[in-house]
Amino acid sequence: MIRPRSVGSRLAVALFAIVACVLVTVYVIVVPTYERSLLRARLSSLEAALGELVIQRSQAFFLTQAWVDDVAAPSADARVVVFQTQQHPPRAVAIADSTPRTSPEMRNDPIVLQALAAGATRSGTVTRNGDRYAEIAYPFTSRSEALLLATPLHNDAQTVAVVRGRVLLAGSVALVLAMLLGFLLARLLTRRISRLELAAERIADGRFDQPVVDDGDDELGQLARAFDRMRLRLASLDHARSEFIANASHELRTPIFSLGAFLELFESEELDLATREEFLADMREQVRRLGKLATDLLDLGRLDAGRMTLDEEELDLGRIATMLETEFAARALSSGRQLQVVGDATAHVRGDELRVLQIGRVLVDNALVHTPPGTPVTVGWERHGAWASLVVSDIGPGIPADAVESIFERFYRLDGTLASGSGLGLAIARELAVLMGGTLDVQSGATETVFRLVLPASGEREQTDIS
């Protein structure tokens, strides 16, 4: 059922209104135009007949009753009236008429008076006794007489009435068909819109299992396909969020349980100094994991709320690379990996030092975690035009091609990896890079993976966009 104020009902009413306007326009234009064309045809016929009669003025009985009855009326196929005229005051009295009884209304016929006043032929329409007539008059001023030809327009009026009735009938049928067609189209349209509405409600309720299907190639079909892409995207995010909650719960529970167990051991056992130091180191690692997870969640909340504030200052990427190398040197050495800094020319950028370091830590940490022992990991920098890059690369197994862009999605973690993080590091890193006017990209092959944090070179931020 179509609701009164639905899109479908409005479409039906709009179609009805358009057809009605077209029919009214046709009626207003066609019927009067047809009526005028019939009148012009009548007057043209009378004018031709009048011309043939006027040239007979040399006949001896011209403009007499006998001439009217025997010559003029049969030739003109119209009523022929001869008037005796007077200029001052204007007056016209019928003295010969092809009709047996001259109507009193014929006295001072307006067309005859117009011809008399102009001294030339005049034509037009008059109404007598409720009937309309087409008339043409010619004045013979030298004889104080005038010749009038008149023909009734009754048949033409009937013809116009028939045309008007048929136009109205056709218009009524067209309006009914337009209304029926409008409601049919509206019903089809409303049904498609209703399916989209139901699909939107399912998506809003968190049910992403049913696809949004519409085979149309119009705007509604495009909207349905956009809805389905949104459904798939939301389903992916919902699945990732569910996994993240499970992972976060596990990540929180594991260090908390470990800390609880260590505390119980401290309380119930007599521990030697070496064991105590080992337990304290493990407890510090668990606290570090908790702190990192809390920091990631806090940064994520600030980014979503638009409350992340960044400082802008001039940074030396060589100094940033050196700081990262110093910070991760011991960890790289203990895990059997080679960490080195590579860079030649100085590269200065505009950005927030703490956030640039945060992004660098994510990149170096991932390189150390996802590569086998002995893998060289390089931290360097590049300058290319108005941009400069902090580059972290490793000679490792690389990232699967179908996961190169997915690794920047929130909560995403590669299957089979050794990481125990939340899957937020790279997502937060890319969003921070964008906030600083740059980007974070990756190139990965079978033997090498290169991450580039690209930022505006010092003094170039307002002049150039990333190509």
All structural domains of the chain with their residue ranges: 8-158, 236-305, 313-456
Collapse the DSSP code of 321 into the 3-class scheme (helix H, G, I; strand E, B; otherwise coil) and give the result. helix
> Rounded to the nearest 5°, which phi and psi values hold at 198?
-65, -40
Alpha helix positions (H), 55-149: 65-67, 73-76, 110-118
Please report the pLDDT score of residue 196 as a whole number: 83
Mean local confidence (pLDDT), 394-400? 85
Lowest-confidence pick of 266-270, 295-299, 440-444, 463-467: 463-467
Q: Are strands 122-128 and 131-140 parallel, antiparallel or unpaired?
A: antiparallel
Only one residue has tokens 């929130």, namely 410
What residues pair up with 387 in beta bridges, in sequence order? 384, 456
Q: How confident is the model at residue 243 (pLDDT cuts 50, 70, 90)?
A: low
Residue 8 exposed, middle or buried by CB count within 10 Å (0-12, 13-18, 19+):
buried
Using CA atoms, how far apart are residues 159 and 38, in angstroms rounded to an integer?
9
Query: CA nearest 154: which of 122, 124, 130?
Result: 130
Residues in contact with 54: Cβ distance below 8 Å, sequence separation at least 6, in sequence order: 138, 147
Residues in contact with 292: Cβ distance below 8 Å, sequence separation at least 6, in sequence order: 421
Q: Are strands 449-456 and 439-444 parallel, antiparallel or unpaired?
A: antiparallel
Using CA atoms, how far apart are residues 295 and 302, in angstroms rounded to an integer?
11
Using CA atoms, how far apart are residues 46 and 248, in angstroms rounded to an integer?
103
Asked whether the predicted pLDDT for residue 420 surpasses 70, the reply is no
Question: Domain 8-158 belongs to what topology?
Answer: Beta-Lactamase (3.30.450)
Which strands make up the sheet holding 122-128, listed edge to edge? Answer: 91-97, 79-86, 145-152, 131-140, 122-128
CB 416 within 8 A of CB 398: no
- What percent of the chain lies above the pLDDT cut of 90? 21
Q: Are strands 338-342 and 376-384 parallel, antiparallel or unpaired?
A: parallel
Q: How many CB atoms lie within 10 A of CB 45?
A: 17
Structure tokens at 166: 């048929």
- What percent of the chain lies above the pLDDT cut of 70? 89
Q: What is the pTM of this model?
A: 0.47
Please tell me which residue, 91 or 79, carries the higher pLDDT value.
79
Please report the pLDDT score of residue 167 as a whole number: 82
Question: Domain 236-305 belongs to what topology?
Answer: Helix Hairpins (1.10.287)
CB 442 within 8 A of CB 404: yes
CB 176 within 8 A of CB 151: no
Which run of H or E residues covers position 361?
Answer: helix 353-369
Architecture of domain 313-456: 2-Layer Sandwich (3.30)
Residue 37 Cα distances to 31, 32, 43, 44, 111, angstroms: 10, 9, 10, 10, 20
Kindly report, residue by residue over 96-135, the tens digit of the pLDDT. 888 877 667 778 889 988 888 888 999 999 988 888 899 9
Kindly report, residue by residue over 24-62, the tens digit of the pLDDT. 887 788 888 888 898 899 899 999 998 888 887 777 678
313-456 shares the fold of 8-158: no
Q: What is the DSSP letter of 401?
A: G
CB 136 within 8 A of CB 122: yes
